A and B are shown apart, each in its own frame.
Chain A
Amino acid sequence: MRKSLIERILTWIAIIAISVFSLFPFYWAVISSLKTPSGLFKIEYWPHSFEWQNYIGIFTEQPFGQNILNSIIVAGSTVILCLFVAVLAAYSLSRVEFKGRSALLLTILAVSMFPQVAVLSGMFELIRTFGLYNHWGGLTLSYMIFTLPFTIWLLTTFMRQLPRELEQAAIMDGASPWIILTKIFLPLMGPSLVTTGLLAFIAAWNEFLFALTFTLSSDARTVPVAIGLISGASSFENPWGRIMAASVIVTVPLVILVLIFQKNIVSGLTAGAVKE
């Protein structure tokens, strides 16, 4: 059915309004990062000159390169560890019959209901006991608390949709559970692994509270903490330009990752939603 002119105009107004609402903050960060400290206080919607000093400054005057590297290590190791544990857990939760299976699944979901603050002090003790304070390993470990519940749930749901006869055929062929998991299930789970891995990566990449609490020195910090602690020459100056520049730099990798895996994410999130 053809839409009338008014309907089409209204549709476009809605699209523009939503786009402005969601994209303007990021646009503002980009143009702010390209201004001089004094230029920041003029309201300009179009940049008139491009000043790169904020970008140079964060790398020369503080260990921002090291911070980015830390973030990559923490988020990367979180994804690897998390997917490894979640795949094994999902296999047993979806394919092995045992008592209390659904109770266990609910417990795992319940873990994600705790606010981070509630576990902060206990987690702090734990990490100190393991000798992981001020070390990226401490962050990787603590990030499991919020990445594992949803990865386990997503992968369990996905694995349940794999036909049972496929597994039975593999059993008849003499495959052990390990071979079934690695040779049959994992290759079929590509999209869902990418989706869950990416969500875990984003969660770890953006995490602030644990990262602030469990690190001490500036060269152990991850990016969100480093940005939060950027300070100016004096305590009266808030270096918005550099904060914006740093924010833009850390957003770019996520945007690139999402663009690369775009197709996988969509198919992963909707996999099995309809019968093929």
Chain B
Amino acid sequence: MAAEVEFQQVSKIYNKDTVVIPGIDLKLPRNELTVFVGPSGCGKSTLLKLIAGLEEVSDGKILIDGKDVTHSSPSQRGIAMVFQSYALYPHMSVYENMAFALKISKTGKDEIDAKIKKVAATLQLTEYLDRKPRQLSGGQRQRVAIGRALVRNPEVFLLDEPLSNLDAALRVDMRIEIAKIRENLNATMVYVTHDQVEAMTLADNIVVLRKGRVEQMGHPLEIYNNPVNKFVAGFLGSPSMNFINFTADETENDFCTLKGPGVLSNVKFKIKPNTLKSGDTACIGIRPEHIDVQKGLAGAELEFKTYAIENLGDHTLLYGHVGESPCVLKVDPYTKYSMDETLGLKIQKQHYHVFDTQDQNVGDSANHPKS
């Protein structure tokens, strides 16, 4: 049965003064896959180990299915974990690797055999059951590691950067495979990654972490379309969102116009009421694919100077500056652009964000498509 995982004011402090998690409240919904993302050192792996019980909380409570497991041992929590390095027992065959936990919990031989055969069949490992881990390829090892966790029928399934050791092509295959496994699995999954594609494609919920704090939690598209602040906005998406600095010129209740280097015309941006004053520095956030590019400046809103061009076949990336802010544009690959060309830009009106001096998103999200 899948279980809900809940953090109540959980903190983790190493050696009395290194604060990794300053105090977190978080509820991971039952039977859903939650992805923890964030830059390295944001505490995502620590959170996972706290759920697993491999690390002890410094303060606060962890509840699994409503039960306080803060001081329970890892094996009492009904949890299985897949490690970044797979951590297969090198001297045991695939079969023995999968049987290890079941043997310890004194499961009957026939039951162990039946469970392993079933899991091996779903993971296409049947013909490798007698092999040692060193005789397997990276992808097969990864599947064994997943299989070892699956045979235990966990309520909570933890994955710590499971695909980071695979090469790019295999990573795509395994990502799809994990998505498939997940469909037939009745478990709450927690997945740690720094790969935003994995986060976007696999997650029911994304939790964006920074310095041990939750910046935003929500459905992937919700976070992609309505980031609460500049950090979240810049973290998801590749190439990441452009941030163009400006000064608020005229502000009305829920509109502002901007001025600054590179700004050509007085376009009005919708903001939450009374969030910007005239003269405030702020920035516009806009994704590379949400900017219309034109040759020449007639009728354009921003002036863009190209300094590098990357043609990727299906699209072309133009690197350059608007005023002093670096800016990337995603354009069709058929129009010819040249270095040091000056181009005119228009911002698509449904897709921009406005960030204030505290980096909070003050753009009016009513403009944006809801997920």
Question: Which one of B74, B84, B89 lies within 8 Å of A171 (CB-CB)?
Answer: B74
B104–A172 CB distance below 8 A: no
Number of interface residues of A (CB under 8 A): 16
Q: A163 to B84: give the CA distance in the assembly, Å.
A: 12
The reply to whether B91 and A187 form a contact with Cβ atoms under 8 Å apart is yes
In the complex, per-residue mask of A233-267: 1 if CB is within 8 Å of any chain B CB, else 0: 00000000000000000000000000000000000
- How far, in whole Å, are A201 and B10 apart by their CA atoms in the complex? 52
Q: Are A172 and B52 in contact (CB under 8 A)?
A: yes
The answer to whether the Cβ of B90 comes within 8 Å of any Cβ in the partner chain is yes
Tell yes or no: B200 within 8 A of A by CB.
Answer: no
Q: Which of A77-85, A115-123, A143-151, A173-181 contacts B (4 or more CB under 8 A)?
A: A173-181
Are B75 and A171 in contact, with the CB atoms below 8 A? yes
In the complex, the answer to whether B91 meets A168 with C-beta atoms within 8 Å is no
| A166 and B87 contacting across the interface, CB-CB below 8 Å | yes
Which residues of A (167-221) have their CB < 8 Å from a CB of B?
168-175, 179, 183-184, 187-188
Assess whether A169 is in contact with B75, with CB atoms less than 8 Å apart.
no
A175 surroundings in chain B (CB, below 8 A):
100, 104
Q: How far is the CA of A16 from the CA of B75 in the complex (A)?
A: 62
Residue in B closest to A173 when the chains form the complex, CB atoms: B101
Checking B54, B80, B88, B105 against A168 with a beta-carbon cut-off of 8 angstroms, the contacting residue is B54
Complex Cα distance A188/B87, Å?
Answer: 13
Chain B, 87-112, contact with A by CB distance < 8 Å: what is the 0/1 string? 11111000000001100110000000
Our pick among A165, A174, A187 for the contact of B87 (Cβ within 8 Å) is A165
Q: Is the CB of B90 within 8 A of A172?
A: no
From B54, B91, B104, contact of A173 by CB (8 A): B104
Residue B83, interface by CB 8 Å? yes
- Residues in A neighbouring B84, C-beta threshold 8 A: 165
Q: What is the distance, in angstroms, from A98's C-beta to the closest C-beta of chain B?
A: 15
For window 185-218 of B, CB contacts with A under 8 Å fall at none
B85 proximal to A (CB < 8 A):
yes
Name the B residues within 8 Å of A184 (CB-CB): 89
A residues with CB within 8 A of B: 163, 165-166, 168-175, 179, 183-184, 187-188
Which residues of B are interface residues toward A (Cβ below 8 A)? 52, 54, 74-75, 79-81, 83-85, 87-91, 100-101, 104-105, 148, 152
Pick the 10 closest A-B CB pairs, nearest first: A174-B75, A173-B101, A169-B87, A165-B87, A187-B91, A165-B83, A174-B104, A172-B81, A166-B87, A165-B85
Q: Pick 16 A–B contacts, CB within 8 A, sort by A.
A: A163-B85, A166-B87, A169-B87, A170-B89, A171-B74, A171-B75, A172-B74, A172-B81, A173-B100, A173-B101, A173-B148, A174-B74, A174-B75, A174-B101, A174-B104, A187-B91
